[in-house]
């Protein structure tokens, strides 16, 4: 079945086969890139500590880096409210809720932390519930980019200091 003319159909089908091969090659290259960065992260774990941010300036003045975001815990407001209402009398629960939230009923983490210090039972109940305060999974960013002049200078200075300390 031809959609255009026979020659155009052949050309488009040929281009589609080339595109399919290119996509396959691209996916293979991305898998290799991922595997190489896993090796970089493994070395960073050994040298800088597991899961921490680290940077290395290469001889070709490219920077390899792992940046680990600092993420705030997420509070499940509804579950926290349910726990507070179940744990305290109506009046006490209302007062506590007003102390740890603002008018939009957003929980203030620092206020909640102070209440948990003041009332260790509340802290234990929140901890035991398990799903009220959730620490998000930190997914590190991987970086391969040209290093800045300042980064190159700092790396050279760091190497010189390490060599002097060792020698």
* pLDDT mean over 92-112: 89
State how far Cα 125 lies from the chain centre.
28
Q: Where are the domains of the chain?
A: 6-70+138-166, 74-134
Predicted local confidence at residue 1, as pLDDT:
65
Mean pLDDT of 23-46: 94
Neighbours of 112 (CB within 10 A): 23
Q: Treating both helix axes as pointing N-terminal to C-terminal, what angle do 120-129 and 109-118 enclose, rounded to 10 degrees? A: 120
CA 158 vs CA 16, 61, 108, 143: distances in Å:
52, 15, 41, 20
> Given pLDDT bands bounded at 50, 70 and 90, which one contains residue 117?
very high
Polymer length in residues for the chain: 167
Beta-carbon count within 10 A of 82 CB: 13
**Nearest by Cα to 116 from 107, 105, 91:** 107
Map 7-73 to HEC letters: HHHHHHHHHHHHHHHHHHHHHHHHHHHHHHHHHHHHHHHHHHCCCCCEEEECCCCEEEEEECCCCCC
Interval 44-89: pLDDT, tens:
999 988 888 889 999 999 999 998 887 788 899 999 999 999 999 9
Check pLDDT > 80 for residue 116. Answer: yes
Is pLDDT at 105 greater than 80 in this prediction?
no
């Amino acid at each position: 079945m031809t959609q255009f003319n026979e020659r155009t159909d052949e050309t488009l089908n040929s281009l589609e086969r080339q595109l399919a091969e290119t996509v396959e090659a691209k996916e293979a290259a991305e898998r290799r890139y991922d595997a190489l960065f896993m090796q970089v992260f493994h070395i960073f774990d050994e040298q800088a500590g597991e899961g921490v941010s680290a940077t290395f300036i290469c001889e070709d003045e490219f920077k390899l880096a792992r940046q680990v975001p600092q993420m705030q815990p997420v509070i499940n407001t509804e579950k926290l409210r349910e726990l507070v209402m179940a744990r305290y009398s109506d009046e006490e629960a209302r007062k506590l809720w007003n102390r740890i939230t603002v008018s939009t009923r957003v929980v203030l983490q620092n206020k909640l932390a102070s209440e948990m210090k003041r009332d260790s039972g509340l802290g234990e109940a929140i901890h035991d519930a398990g799903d009220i305060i959730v620490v998000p999974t930190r997914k590190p960013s991987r970086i391969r980019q040209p290093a800045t002049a300042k980064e190159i200078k700092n790396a050279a200075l760091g190497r010189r200091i390490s060599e002097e300390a060792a020698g």
